[in-house]
Structure formats: structure tokens, C-alpha cells
Amino acid sequence: MELRDEVRSQFERSHKLAKKYYDSGKTAKARVEYLKCSGFLKHLAELSPPERRGKLLERSKKFREIADGLQDGSVKVYTSGILPPEPTETKRERASDEDKTRDRVKELIMVEKPKIRFKDIAGLDEVKERIKEAIVYPFIYPEEYKYFGVSPGGGILLYGPPGCGKTMLAAAAAAECDAVFINLKISDIKDKYVGESEKNIKQVFEVSRSYERAILFFDEIDAMAGERSSSQQGHERSLVNELLAQMDALESKGSPRNSLVLAATNQPWSVDLALRRSGRFDSSVFIPNPDARARKKIFELSLKERPVDKAVKLEKLADMTKGYASAEIVEICDRAAKIPLRERLREHKKRRTISTGDFDQAIREKSTVLPAWYARALKEIQSSDETDMFLDLIKAAKEYTPSDKRQFE
Ligand SMILES: Nc1ncnc2c1ncn2[C@@H]1O[C@H](COP(=O)(O)OP(=O)(O)O)[C@@H](O)[C@H]1O
Ligand SMILES: [Mg+2]
């Protein structure tokens, strides 16, 4: 189903529910559904051709007004917990604050339907298989899981050096099971006011529930734990607790789950221990920098649609970029392509293909940040007596040897 159709049918469902709740006097529930209606219409507007956008946004606003109207009335029963009733004296002021928070959260909730698939990601075959087992197959073959009594899911924590495919994997996981991808940075959800960040998390899960299938991706999950010694600790702890509670709620809904949770970090040693030990993230998967085969594949993928000199040997390029991050290799390809492009534009030279010399230069000029990352990782982990949690990372760090650049000089 097209994303647009899906959003439309979600809207229709919420609209029906809203009317039902409203008619039976369940104002709080009705309000939640009206808010969702407003959100869906806004999303629909974004997905629609420009000439239809205005109307949809107008309607979205109407639904918001209805929802706000329900709040203004002296509503006593709040079951959903999204928006608790306000004390009367500060009602107006606070309501507008809440509007702002809600708007911001809505803006932060990027609901996408990614196109990227596992085949577009070089290497990481075993990781892909683990993600499939935990996330993709349970969506596609729920009856098999039931038959064998295997409970699917549980969150997955992806950790490893920057630029090696964590975000890509999460997006592709969503595409593989035809789920929407809700991508959030913890730093975006965090709010300096006590209690607000928790509400944001709650709202994120609320939104995910309104889709038939969703992958919730919490990026920079390390940002959820503050400095362990800081005075913020209590505050941060309740944020972690809220996330765990919301993940539990996913499990306990008797119906088949519709949302699965992935998290990622470049700084696994800073991830809150409660989160790691909670059992909710029952696999932690190390995403290493690409091996020779994967590096060759990344060159292949990045150069597929570019004019490359026949003399360029991808194995050689893979050799020369030992120890580089995947994203850095993608950048090297861009830089190499820009050399003949500039010659053409600035010096009006004849068009030519990208040569071995261009790649040499691009690699020479681009160094990798991974040596520093691995050094830091080893230092942090070895001083934390949590070495048992990071065996894969420690092994990779010890074996890590970047390409010796002197060979090009
Ligand atoms: N395994 C991979 N195969 C192909 N390209 C990759 C791979 N990993 C990273 N990239 C490239 O690097 C970019 C950044 O990757 P990303 O998934 O955001 O890294 P991370 O989340 O681990 O920091 C991607 O958009 C992609 O262009
Ligand atoms: Mg990322």
C-alpha cells in the first residue's frame, strides 16, 4: 500500500473512533483521536500534490481546534495520559505551552517509508540476519513464531563506530517489512523541563500505535543517560523508565505487536546501564567498520552510475581504505568525482573519466576518524569494568589497523 493510502486509512479509522468516543462521552479518548486526525491530515498534506495541500492543512487545523475545544471544557476523565487536565488559574498559559510542545514533538516525529533495502547495505550479513529474525520475520510470519512458541522482537541496540550503517540498517529493516520508520534523536526529544521529555516519549509511542506497522528508531540513545554523577540523574532515570515502560506496553498488548524498537549509539559505554541490563534490548549488536569485501561493495555501489576509468581496480581501492568507515568511503568517491568535474568547469578541459590518480588523491586527502574512535572505545570500556558486555567491540578494537598511508607518498 502506498504511504498516502495508509495514512488516509489511519485517518479514517481515527475519525470514526473520535466520533464514537465523543458520542459516548469519553472526551479524553476522543481528544486523542482528534489530535491524531489532525496529525494524519498534516502528514497527508505533506505527501500530496501542492494544489491539494491547502485544503488538507485547513482540515487538519479544524481537527486541532476540535481537540483543543475538548480540552477547554471541564473534562474530568483523562485516561490516555497524553494531556492531563490543567489547574484552572494557569490554564490558558499552560495550554499554549503544551500546544508548543505537542507541535514540536509532531514536527520531530519523522514518519518515513524508506526505500533503502538490505541489499543496498554492504557487508554485515550476519547482522542483517539477526535483525530479520527479531524484527522482519515476526511481521511476515507471525504464525510460525506462534507455532514454535518463540516470542519475537525485543529491542535491538546497534552500536559501533560512526558512519558504518546503523541508521541505514534500521531504515532498511522498516522497508523490508513494509513498516513506517519513525526516526528520532534523543537530543531532540529531551526537554529541559521536568516531565516534558517523558511526555514526548509517550507521544512518540502513541503515534507509532496509529500505524499498522512501525519501526521506532531511537538514535543517539546514549544521550538518554546523563552524566552519572550529575544532579540531573533522577530526571534522566525517569526518562529511561518511561522508555522501558512504553516498551513493556508494546509487549503486553494481547494483540499482535505493531511496533518494534531499535536504538543506536556511537558511544555504547555511555548508554544507561538500566537500559542495557533491562532485558528490553535483548540483543546488542556490534556494527563494525567494513571489511575488504564490504569496502569493495561500497565502491561498487557508489560508482555504479559514474564514469570510471577502466584501469581503476576496486580491490585496490578497497585495500587502500582499510580501516575507513563506510560513510568515509562514500565521501572519497564524491571527492574523486569532483576532481575531473572541476577541471571541466574551471579549466574547460575535455570530459574525462575518474582515474586511479583521482582516487589516490581523494584517499590521501581524506583521513579516517576511526583510529581515534577505537582508541577512545578501548579506554572507556577498560576503565568501566563492563568488558563482558563489549567483547565484539574489544576484539575489533584490538584487531583494528588502518591502512598505512605512507604507501601513497
Ligand atoms: N554498510 C554500508 N554500505 C553502504 N553504505 C554505507 C554503509 N554504512 C554506511 N554507509 C554510507 O554512510 C552513510 C552514513 O551511514 P549511517 O547508517 O548513517 O551510519 P551510522 O548510523 O552508523 O553513523 C550512509 O548514508 C551511506 O551512504
Ligand atoms: Mg546514524
Distance (angstroms) between ligand 2 centre and the Cα of 186 equals: 12
Q: Which residues surround ligand 2, an ion (CB under 5 A)?
A: 166-167
Intervals of the chain under pLDDT 70: 1, 71-108, 152-153, 192-194, 225-237, 252-257, 404-409
Distance (angstroms) between ligand 1 centre and the Cα of 136 equals: 20
Closest ligand 1 atom to residue 171 Cα is 17
Q: Is residue 291 lining ligand 1, measured as CB closer than 6 Å?
A: no
Question: Following DSSP, what letter does each residue of 193-261 receive, concatenated?
Answer: STTHHHHHHHHHHHHHHTSSSEEEEEETGGGGS--TTSTTHHHHHHHHHHHHHHHHHHHH-SSPP-EEE
Residue of 167, 184, 326 to test ligand 1 pocket, by largest number of atoms within 8 Å of CB: 326
CA distance 217 to 262: 5
Q: Is residue 298 lining ligand 1, measured as CB closer than 6 Å?
A: yes
CA distance 326 to 312: 19
| φ and ψ at residue 264, rounded to 5 degrees | -140, 155
Query: Where would I find the beta strands (DSSP E) of 117-163?
Result: 156-159
Distance (angstroms) between ligand 2 centre and the Cα of 350 equals: 39
- Give the closest residue (by CA) to ligand 1 atom 7: 165
Exposed, middle or buried: residue 74 (CB in 10 Å: 0-12, 13-18, 19+)? exposed
pLDDT reported for residue 84: 35
pLDDT reported for residue 248: 82
Specify whether the CB–CB gap between 82 and 202 falls below 8 A: yes
pLDDT reported for residue 395: 92
Instruction: Render pLDDT for 357-405 as a digit per residue (tens, 0 to 9).
Output: 999 999 999 999 999 999 999 999 988 877 788 889 999 999 998 876 5
Distance (angstroms) between ligand 1 centre and the Cα of 330 equals: 8
Residue of 164, 181, 186, 262 to test ligand 1 pocket, by largest number of atoms within 8 Å of CB: 164
Q: Is residue 288 lining ligand 1, measured as CB closer than 6 Å?
A: no
Question: Following DSSP, what letter does each residue of 59-112 receive, concatenated?
Answer: HHHHHHHHHHHHHHS------S-SSPPPPGGGHHHHHHHHHHHHHHHHHH-EEE
Distance (angstroms) between ligand 2 centre and the Cα of 165 equals: 7
- Give the closest residue (by CA) to ligand 1 atom 27: 327
- Give the closest residue (by CA) to ligand 1 atom 17: 165
Name the closest ligand to CA 286.
Answer: 1
Distance (angstroms) between ligand 1 centre and the Cα of 169 equals: 8
Q: Is residue 357 lining ligand 1, measured as CB closer than 6 Å?
A: no
CA distance 199 to 285: 29
* Cα radius of gyration (the chain): 25
pTM over 0.85: no
pLDDT reported for residue 256: 55
Cell numbers 522501558 correspond to 244
Q: Is residue 302 lining ligand 1, measured as CB closer than 6 Å?
A: no
The CATH classification of domain 289-409, taken from the options 1.10.8.60, 3.30.2350.10, 1.10.8.350, 3.40.640.10: 1.10.8.60
CA distance 234 to 226: 10
Name the closest ligand to CA 116.
Answer: 1
Residue of 116, 166, 167, 168 to test ligand 1 pocket, by largest number of atoms within 8 Å of CB: 168
Distance (angstroms) between ligand 2 centre and the Cα of 164 equals: 8
Integer CA distances (angstroms), 103 to 84, 172, 178, 395, in order: 16, 28, 27, 45
Closest ligand 1 atom to residue 160 Cα is 22
Distance (angstroms) between ligand 1 centre and the Cα of 12 equals: 37
Largest CA distance in the chain: 78
Instruction: Indicate the CATH number for domain 112-286.
Output: 3.40.50.300
Instruction: Render pLDDT for 106-141 as a digit per residue (tens, 0 to 9).
Output: 566 778 889 999 999 999 999 999 888 888 888 788
Q: Which residues contact 190 (CB under 8 A, 6 or more apart)?
A: 197, 200, 223, 224, 239
pLDDT reported for residue 233: 52
Q: % helix / strand / coil in the chain, to the nearest 5?
A: 60, 10, 30
If phi over 0 gives left and psi between -120 and 50 gives alpha, with beta otherwise, what is residue 291?
Answer: beta
CA distance 141 to 146: 9
Please list the residue range(s) of the chain that carry CATH number 3.40.50.300: 112-286
Q: Which of 217, 219, 146, 220 is nearest to 175 (CA)?
A: 217
Distance (angstroms) between ligand 2 centre and the Cα of 39 equals: 26
DSSP state of 365: H
Please list the residue range(s) of the chain that carry CATH number 1.10.8.60: 289-409
